[in-house]
Amino acid sequence: MRRSCNRAAGKTDCIEVRGARQNNLRGLSVSLPRESLIVFTGVSGSGKSTLAFGTIYAEAKRRYFESVAPYARRLIAQLPTPHVEEIGGLPPAVALEQKRAEPGSRSSVGTLTTLSNILRMLFSRAGSYPDAGSKRLDSDAFSPNTAEGACPDCHGVGVLHDVTEESLVPDPSLSIREKAVAAWPGAWQGKNYRDILATLGYNVDIPFKDLPEKDRHWILFTEEQPVVTVHAEREAHRIQRPYKGTYMSAAVYVKKTFATTLSATLRKRVLQFMNTTDCSSCKGKRLKPESLAVRFGGHDIAELQEMPVSRLLEIIKGAPELATNEAAPVMVEEIIERIELLSQLGLDYLSLDRPAPTLSAGELQRLRLTTLFHSGLFGVVYVLDEPSAGLHPLDAEPLASMLFRLKEEGNTLILVEHELDLVRQADWIVDIGPGGGDRGGRLIYSGPVADLDGSPESVTAGFLNGKRKMRSRPRLEPGEFFTLKGASRHNLRDLEARFPLGLLTTVTGVSGAGKSTLVSRVLAQTVREWLGSPDEDPGQDTEDAEDDDELLDEKPDRGKATISGAERIKRLVCVDQKPIGRTPRSNLATYTGLFDHIRKLFAATDEARKRGYGAGRFSFNVAEGRCPVCEGEGFVSVELLFLPSVYAPCASCKGRRYKESTLEIEYKGVDIASVLDMTVDAACQFFEDSKQVARPLNILRQVGLGYLKLGQPATELSGGEAQRIKLASELKREQKGKTLYLLDEPTTGLHPDDIEKLLILLYGLVEAGNTVIVVEHDMNVVARSDWVIEMGPGAADLGGLIVAEGTPEQVAGSKGKSAPYLKLALEELV
């Protein structure tokens, strides 16, 4: 079912893709009309991103490099060439992928939109100065990041960090041996300092508070770094030679680490041992007094950057300077234009000083989208990854009109998108499928949206025409509730919320209302502290903790929240779409624990027993049985001068990861490397008679992951796939009914067919008696939950309240902004 794109779109120009074979694409060919809004649809893993980003955009980027600079040829030779026979008619392309800003990035909403620059210029040229006669300040003087503008007392940081005896030694009744100096590093280094003090003659066994004041002060604050020969005391059985150790006082250690470390975790740790106070000269505003004295519309620049841009807009529109200063109107005009774009994309609750790393991936992508309008580019292909992510249906309407405007300016838009309302409005739809992985990768349909119906294989068609409805189950009645009190963070002010135990609850409301703040921040943190144990994020390793959301949040709580009635909850699990591991060593089989059982099966074969091979022999993480050349990775990294290294299959094991002798062992005629190469579907049959292996495999299959290979490296899984694997491994746990699951927009990146599978998983968790709370904009999911909490009424300062709660019908009948959308979704439910 293919149409010529020329005829249907009335255009002469097409982008022609011939024979794409990247990842799971099977020689896919398609032609796309230029200057149109095109959506790529298909279930998770079908190959949409591969076609959009891995093929079309990758090729555009390669050609761009080729055209700009002949000297870059050698570089291009290294850029991965997409596996495609030919792409014709391809204009230059710009891609916006869903990615969070780098955690260390110093950019903010103001810098990304360049609004901060314009605002500084406005203050410089049109601000009101305290003395009418005073000389105007340069625009740099309004930036805390310049020597000219920074507050001299805090160097533009806004806060002062200081150490005191109390901050370094939280519990002075402990002795040094009992770790009184909590600020010291742990492990060996801490022991080293202790042993040096003992060698120097300090008593490390009496309570710290009983040491003489002079000694306490030297231990904590000395700038000296004496080198001492230490005769360390260690466990009796270990031989320890004397060594030369260098002492460092806790104050020096904390300050030095804080100033120099690149690790967010370490920074956070030492910050605990410092007192942080607002700088008293600038009151945290980071600018020098002369700059803060300048006003526009009655506010200093720091105040304007702190408020939601919607308020900023009102203030500058009504500023008296507009009438008195000639330069003001032009600059104000420019600011208004940019902020209006932000409002259209539902982002005007953000403030200019909001650091980019604290934005969600969807917010960041939409913010970048607004900057495209100022680029003045036309005749360009924009490749966008689910621009509707993170948007309430109410905010999604203006998004569509913005995308159409980009198209009308002569651009081609390719969206990987699932939001059906947006899909319906597109000019052209490319449906890939029918399934995921090996079961996908084919072109199911390419043409105008209205004609998709005639395509029997399309999973998308049924959802679009309404013939297929997402499954649901009879609603559960609420019984007991637990209560969160005193939530005060971001835009929440002493909020109280109650959540039913043992049900599926969705928290909805317009973007910026405070849903994530309530659920993912305050509730998560309060429950975590109340349980007194870290929560388990399935699959989070220590490296991942580096970009822990908590670290991104610089603004502390304005009071502690408390929780009551939650005695039933013994465990907290926050499930996100973060990767389940960052090395190719982690894969589906190892992550789910399946592989342990499989290895035991291999070790139990006659041949393995005869040779004395244990289960460890079949692990690619253990030296015994793995390929010694690639150390079980199957790949070797090839270092290239000046370029990121590339991976190539290991020549010794041909990518099979194991020693020849390990592969000689066969279980039911198949070696261990071939098992890792099986799909979940195939493995289900193969391991049929081994319950411990078959059960988890069956769960993976039920949630639509049958197409994944057991050995598929975690690094190659999509966010949606990772999330489902996490939830599936929760389902097989035996301990029941005691867990609180928190999910923040779990449907991001999911096709309706995948959303249905996710829902079934969530229902499964509730059926086992657990409590599930989901932040969600998809009204189909909200309509299928047991209980709904709507936050609002608006965003930022205009939100932060609970405006409705109850069953989906009750909330649909309320005055909340979700009501009309929820009502529509409920009508479909029957």
Q: Using CB under 6 A as the criterion, which residues of the chain lie in contact with ligand ADP when the complex forms?
A: 23-24, 42, 44-50, 349-350, 354, 358, 436-437, 490-491, 509, 511-517, 552-553, 555, 716, 718, 796
Residue among 408, 263, 405, 266 nearest 340 (CA)? 405
CA dist list (Å): 793 to 788, 800, 807: 15, 8, 19
**Interface with Zn ion, residue 789, by CB under 5 A:** no
Contact yes or no for 52/387 (Cβ under 8 A): no
Residue whose CB is less far from ligand ADP, 23 or 652: 23
**Interface with Zn ion, residue 676, by CB under 5 A:** no
Strand 14-20 to strand 28-33: parallel, antiparallel, or no bridges (unpaired)? antiparallel
Torsion region of 55: left, alpha or beta (phi above 0 gives left; psi -120 to 50 gives alpha): alpha
The 14-20 sheet, strands edge to edge: 28-33, 14-20, 86-88
Binding-site member from 17, 168, 279, 452 for Zn ion (CB under 5 A): 279
The CA-based angle 721-687-673, given to 5 degrees, is: 70
- Partner touching 610 among ligand ADP, Zn ion, none, CB below 5 to 8 Å by kind: none
* DSSP string for residues in 396-420: HHHHHHHHHHHHHTT-EEEEE---H
3-state secondary structure of 496: strand
**Interface with Zn ion, residue 630, by CB under 5 A:** yes
- Partner touching 113 among Zn ion, ligand ADP, none, CB below 5 to 8 Å by kind: none
Minimum CB–partner distance for residue 499 and ligand ADP (Å): 16
Residue whose CB is less far from Zn ion, 160 or 394: 160
- Partner touching 522 among Zn ion, ligand ADP, none, CB below 5 to 8 Å by kind: none
**Interface with Zn ion, residue 629, by CB under 5 A:** yes
Name beta bridge partners: 481. Answer: 500
Stretch that binds Zn ion, among 239-247, 281-289, 703-711, 801-809 (CB under 5 A): 281-289
Written as six digits, the tokens of 294 are 């300048």
- Partner touching 128 among Zn ion, ligand ADP, none, CB below 5 to 8 Å by kind: none
Residue whose CB is less far from ligand ADP, 257 or 310: 310
Residue whose CB is less far from ligand ADP, 46 or 460: 46
- Partner touching 780 among ligand ADP, Zn ion, none, CB below 5 to 8 Å by kind: none
Residue among 306, 304, 208, 294 nearest 250 (CA)? 208
Residue whose CB is less far from ligand ADP, 154 or 350: 350
Minimum CB–partner distance for residue 585 and Zn ion (Å): 13
**Interface with Zn ion, residue 154, by CB under 5 A:** yes
- Partner touching 50 among Zn ion, ligand ADP, none, CB below 5 to 8 Å by kind: ligand ADP
Task: Quickly count helices (H) and strands (E) in the chain.
Answer: 35, 24
Minimum CB–partner distance for residue 353 and Zn ion (Å): 15
Stretch that binds Zn ion, among 65-73, 225-233, 271-279, 399-407 (CB under 5 A): 271-279
3-state secondary structure of 263: coil
- Partner touching 48 among Zn ion, ligand ADP, none, CB below 5 to 8 Å by kind: ligand ADP
**Maximal CA-CA distance, the chain:** 97
Contact yes or no for 47/432 (Cβ under 8 A): yes
Contact yes or no for 30/449 (Cβ under 8 A): no
- The rounded distance, in Å, linking the Cα atoms of 555 and 490 is 8
Name residue, tokens 């006669």. Answer: 133
- The rounded distance, in Å, linking the Cα atoms of 522 and 496 is 11
Minimum CB–partner distance for residue 491 and ligand ADP (Å): 4
Q: Using CA atoms in the order 278, 284, 287, 291, what is the torsion angle rounded to 10 degrees?
A: -120
Residue whose CB is less far from Zn ion, 153 or 547: 153
Residue whose CB is less far from Zn ion, 226 or 289: 289
Minimum CB–partner distance for residue 48 and ligand ADP (Å): 4
Binding residues for Zn ion, total number by CB under 5 A: 12
Residue among 137, 125, 148, 161 nearest 287 (CA)? 148
**Interface with Zn ion, residue 504, by CB under 5 A:** no
Residue whose CB is less far from Zn ion, 278 or 716: 278
Enumerate residues 6+ apart whose C-beta is below 8 A from 705: 436, 680, 721, 724, 725, 728
- Partner touching 47 among ligand ADP, Zn ion, none, CB below 5 to 8 Å by kind: ligand ADP
Written as six digits, the tokens of 433 are 């499928």
- Partner touching 29 among ligand ADP, Zn ion, none, CB below 5 to 8 Å by kind: none
DSSP state at residue 308: B
Residue whose CB is less far from ligand ADP, 46 or 257: 46
- Partner touching 34 among Zn ion, ligand ADP, none, CB below 5 to 8 Å by kind: none
CA dist list (Å): 523 to 741, 746, 791, 803: 11, 17, 15, 18
**Interface with Zn ion, residue 627, by CB under 5 A:** yes
- Partner touching 653 among Zn ion, ligand ADP, none, CB below 5 to 8 Å by kind: Zn ion
- Partner touching 174 among ligand ADP, Zn ion, none, CB below 5 to 8 Å by kind: none
Stretch that binds Zn ion, among 125-133, 180-188, 279-287, 337-345 (CB under 5 A): 279-287
Name residue, tokens 């996710």. Answer: 758
* DSSP string for residues in 766-780: HHTT-EEEEE---HH
Q: Using CA atoms in the order 305, 307, 313, 317, what is the torsion angle rounded to 10 degrees?
A: -80
Stretch that binds Zn ion, among 446-454, 620-628, 769-777, 813-821 (CB under 5 A): 620-628
Q: How far is CA 576 from the centre of its chain?
A: 8
Torsion region of 512: left, alpha or beta (phi above 0 gives left; psi -120 to 50 gives alpha): left
Contact yes or no for 39/453 (Cβ under 8 A): no
- Partner touching 349 among ligand ADP, Zn ion, none, CB below 5 to 8 Å by kind: ligand ADP
Residue whose CB is less far from ligand ADP, 261 or 718: 718
Contact yes or no for 588/712 (Cβ under 8 A): yes
Written as six digits, the tokens of 440 are 């996908």
Binding-site member from 16, 97, 138, 153 for Zn ion (CB under 5 A): 153
Segment holding 364, helix H or strand E? helix 361-375
Residue whose CB is less far from ligand ADP, 194 or 521: 521
Minimum CB–partner distance for residue 712 and Zn ion (Å): 18
Residue whose CB is less far from ligand ADP, 249 or 310: 310
Contact yes or no for 773/518 (Cβ under 8 A): no
- Partner touching 515 among ligand ADP, Zn ion, none, CB below 5 to 8 Å by kind: ligand ADP
Minimum CB–partner distance for residue 649 and ligand ADP (Å): 13
Residue whose CB is less far from ligand ADP, 441 or 625: 441
Residue whose CB is less far from ligand ADP, 436 or 746: 436
Other CB atoms closer than 10 Å to residue 734's CB: what's the count? 5
Residue whose CB is less far from Zn ion, 181 or 663: 663
Minimum CB–partner distance for residue 42 and ligand ADP (Å): 5
Minimum CB–partner distance for residue 282 and Zn ion (Å): 3
Contact positions vs Zn ion (CB under 5 A): 151, 153-154, 279, 281-282, 627, 629-630, 650, 652-653
